[in-house]
Structure 1
Amino acid sequence: MTDAPAFDAPFEDVLAAIAFNGDGLVPAIAQAEGSGEILMMAWMNRDSVLETLRTGRVCYWSRSRGALWRKGESSGQVQTLKDFRIDCDGDTLLLIVDQQGVACHTGRRSCFYRAVRNGALETIQEVETDPSILYGKHAH
């Protein structure tokens, strides 16, 4: 088990507080511990929430694969959970994480590497790690 934070409330209470959508999913925003940088957004289902809380290693639900997605499983870019927060409506999660390496499959620190500047789309973060190194030939 990783260095998981302690959660006092029973997990059933946690699950009851989450407003999963019609597909059984809830958006989860990953934010870097310390800097507050928003790293990514992904989906979680009941099983990925439970695995994340039980292990302290962030697990999402991959809609494209139809399976649990343990962040860093193939890339080594693991997210360790530091805090698990639920918004006021229960329909969005905020995961405070310790991010090892980059969070984005493009090899950038954050998935939010593009911004609108003066009416045009601009890349504001450069690639830190070649995706082919992270994922082999099959980068998604």
Structure 2
Amino acid sequence: MSTSRSSNRFLDQVKWDANGLAPAIAQDADTGRVLMMAWMNREALALSAQEGRAIYWSRSRHQLWRKGETSGHVQELAGIFLDCDADVILLKVRQLGGIACHTGRESCFFRELKGEQWETIDPVLKDPKEIY
């Protein structure tokens, strides 16, 4: 990606970890529900800002991951925020298709601690085999 130095200033203000990554939390822009957490590098954040959609860095595949490129469940950006320590990115998104999780659920945070057990609180909206 070729951009001018001045357009990269916002990237320089993020405190990237030793691997050049920062955690990114995707939150539903309308309901406030936390949908997922993923990682971003400089290129992912720059492209997300440029394209208006969530683009992450896949640590397992070692490549950019355009959310929804396989599933169709794209995250359109409503806003990008940086926390007070400048080391966590918050993406307010509009989740197309209503599914953010690879398990076919609305949110990756679908288990709640009840006593000493994790209880699944969200239904599968679509079989992952039909998505991927």
TM-score under structure 1 length normalisation: 0.88
Give secondary structure in 2 for the equivalent of 1:54: helix
Residue of structure 1 equivalent to 2:16: 20
Cα distance between partner residues in 2 of 1:84 and 1:14 = 11
C-alpha displacement at 1:120, in angstroms?
Answer: 1.1
Q: Could you tell me which residue of structure 1 aligns to residue 3 of structure 2?
A: none
Q: Which residue of 2 aligns with 1:41?
A: 37
Contact 1:18 1:91 in 2 (8 A): yes
Q: Distance in 1 between matches of 2:103 and 2:7?
A: 34
Rounded Cα–Cα distance in structure 2 between residues aligned with 1:16 and 1:32: 26
Aligned to 1:62: 58
> Which residue in 1 is equivalent to 2:129?
132
SS at match of 2:11: helix
Q: Which amino acid aligns with 2:107?
A: S
Aligned residue runs from structure 1 range 44-123, under 5 A: 44-101=40-97, 102-123=99-120
Question: Per-residue displacement from partner, 1:21-44 (whole Å, max 9, x unpaired)?
Answer: 000000000000110000000000
Structure 1 stretches of 4+ with a deviation exceeding 2 A read: none
CA displacement at 1:13 relative to structure 2 = 2.1
Task: Report the Cα distance in structure 2 between the residues aligned to 1:94 and 1:11, rounded to whole angstroms.
Answer: 20
Whole-Å separation in 2 of the counterparts to 1:124 and 1:46? 35
- For structure 1, the 5+ residue unaligned runs are 1-9, 136-140
| Superimposed CA distance per residue, residues 74-96 of structure 1 (whole angstroms, 9 cap, x where no aligned partner) | 00000001100000111100000
1:11 is displaced (CA, Å) by: 3.8
Separation (CA, whole Å) in 2 of partners of 1:55 and 1:16: 19
What RMSD in Å do the two structures reach over aligned CA positions? Answer: 0.9
Gap regions ≥5 residues in structure 2 = 1-5
**Cα distance, 1:121 vs. partner?**
1.0
CA contact (8 A) 1:105 1:131 kept: yes
Identity %: 49
Aligned residue pairs: how many?
126
